[in-house]
Structure 1
Amino acid sequence: MINVFNSPIEAATLDEFHEGPAREGEQKVFTNTRKRPVVSYRSDGRKTVDGQVTEERPANVLWTKAINNGVANEWREKAEGSRLYKVKRYVANLCYDCRVMANTYSRKHFTYLLIILNVSLVLIALHIFKLIVW
């Protein structure tokens, strides 16, 4: 059941809430009631409390924070392994392996690769011109 004690009001106003109608000349028990600050946000995203901008920071600090957050997010993705990062890592590893293989084979077997390539091109050309039937 919702009653006075469950509602979000300050304890200083409870006595005044339970009182009867105010009498003339009677002083209130609690005269200092706390005023809550009015929090709002500007169109550019800055937070204001009672119309004053809170924590106005220079651009250098904001850029540093943005870059650090970006690096931290990238590290988190590496640790957790998001799909995009897995694809990036796979493509990078594949490219590296292809480069290593090409360098290794080109040094050792470059002549043989060229001979095989030329023979296959000749066979394909003969097949296209219908001189050889497969």
Structure 2
Amino acid sequence: MNEYKEKILKVCNESSTNTLMETLEIEYIDVGEDFLVAKMPVNPRVHQPDGVLHGGATVALAESVGSTASYIFMDAQKVFVRGIEIAANHVKSIKEGEVFAKAIIIHKGRTTQLWEIKVTDTEGNLISLCKLTTISLPRK
């Protein structure tokens, strides 16, 4: 991994301290020109009562990776980013292991950004498909 990627991932992971991302053990693991990838362990901390990954934890992962991607791909010195809408289709359950969320930019506007986030298991099976809209607002 090159030095630039390592620096970006370090900043992303350090920004998770004392946040929901730290609670859910989300770790940013890869970044490219138009994507960001994070992983999250699947264990009882993120289960629903019947022992499978809770959809809310999946959506929290998706929104975290998409919002963080907007932050790193926009000029963070000039704008701050907020998620304004998220939709999720959960297509498969998982009981243990890890899930990976890859946010890919669909639309990168000055004000709004649209992200597709695919959440997969370690074998690449689709767990959830999410769409996130973020807004970049000027810093004062």
Range class of TM-score, shorter chain: under 0.3
Larger Rg: 1
Question: TM-score scaled by structure 1?
Answer: 0.20
Question: TM-score scaled by structure 2?
Answer: 0.19
- Report which structure shows greater RCO (CA 8 Å, sep ≥6): 2
Higher helix share: 1
